């Protein structure tokens, strides 16, 4: 059975915005180091597939296929990309598969198969939906020591509270935390 693992680069105040048009675009760049990349690759694991919303798929298409020959680019380019889209005929960066009309049922079926873990990165609309449906197994937050104040947040305002269990943490040389949590389910009040 496959796991679905969320990976999000996030500020201390919950912003995950990376868009080049964002006022603080590139805010993660000053914290990147070879040691930090090695830690991140270890956390991703030796093989994975990607789970992407259409907008994130298109953004990744604009970068990763031409990013060069290095471990992260090679892993992402080799991964099967499972995409939530109403335009499956226009998917060009593969290997790629459309998740179909009923994404919850499609993901339940996909999780029950043998294969590598599914990594969800970006795709914030999908993140809230899948957490609410109880389909997420782990949440890995790559936390940067910055406060951005405004920008897209990890979860929608209508998101229902969830309980997580701390698994591990690691710190890069620049103070970025790689925090791993296991998803337990609805928060009991």
Whether 170 shows a pLDDT value over 60: the answer reads: yes
Distance CA 178, CA 40 (A): 8
pLDDT tens-digit map of 4-16: 999 999 999 988 8
Candidates 3.40.50.720, 3.40.430.10, 3.40.50.300, 1.20.1260.10; CATH matching 4-169: 3.40.430.10
- Give the separation between CA 32 and CA 40, rounded to whole angstroms: 11
94-118 pLDDT per residue, tens: 899 988 889 899 999 999 999 999 9
Entry pTM: 0.89
The greatest distance separating any two alpha carbons of the chain, rounded to the nearest whole angstrom, comes to 49
For residue 128, CA distances in Å to 11, 15, 35, 73, 92 come to: 18, 15, 31, 26, 26
Average pLDDT, stretch 42-49?
A: 89
pLDDT band at 90 (very low <50, low <70, confident <90, very high): confident
Q: What's the confidence (pLDDT) of residue 182?
A: 96
In the chain, domain spans? 4-169
Contacts with 167 (C-beta within 8 Å, 6 or more apart), sequence order: 138, 180, 181, 182
* Local confidence band at 77 (pLDDT 50, 70, 90 cut-offs): very high
Q: How far apart are CA 36 and CA 174, in angstroms?
A: 8
Regarding predicted confidence, which is higher, 109 or 24?
A: 109
Report the pLDDT value the prediction gives residue 166, as an integer from 0 to 100: 97
Q: What average pLDDT does the chain have?
A: 88
- Residues in CB range of 178: below 8 A, 6 or more apart: 39, 40, 43, 140, 141, 142, 143, 169, 170, 171, 172
For residue 69, give every residue at least 6 positions away whose Cβ sits within 8 Å of its Cβ, in sequence order, or none.
Answer: none
């Amino acid at each position: 059975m496959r796991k679905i693992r969320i990976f999000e680069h996030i500020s201390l105040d919950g912003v995950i915005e990376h868009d080049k048009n964002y006022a603080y675009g590139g805010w993660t760049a000053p914290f990147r180091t070879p040691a930090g990349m090695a830690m991140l690759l270890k956390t991703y694991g030796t093989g994975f597939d990607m789970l992407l919303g259409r907008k994130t798929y298109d953004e990744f298409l604009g970068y990763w296929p031409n990013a060069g020959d290095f471990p992260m680019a090679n892993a992402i380019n080799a991964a099967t990309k499972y995409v939530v889209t109403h335009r499956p005929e226009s998917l060009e960066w593969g290997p790629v598969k459309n998740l179909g009309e009923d994404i919850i049922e499609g993901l339940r079926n996909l999780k029950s198969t043998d294969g590598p873990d599914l990594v969800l990165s970006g795709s914030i609309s999908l993140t809230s939906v899948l957490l609410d449906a109880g389909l997420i197994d782990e949440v890995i937050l790559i936390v940067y020591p910055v406060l951005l104040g405004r920008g897209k947040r990890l979860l929608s305002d209508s998101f229902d509270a969830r309980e997580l269990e701390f698994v591990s943490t690691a710190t890069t040389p620049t103070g970025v935390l790689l925090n791993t949590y296991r998803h337990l389910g609805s928060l009991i009040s």
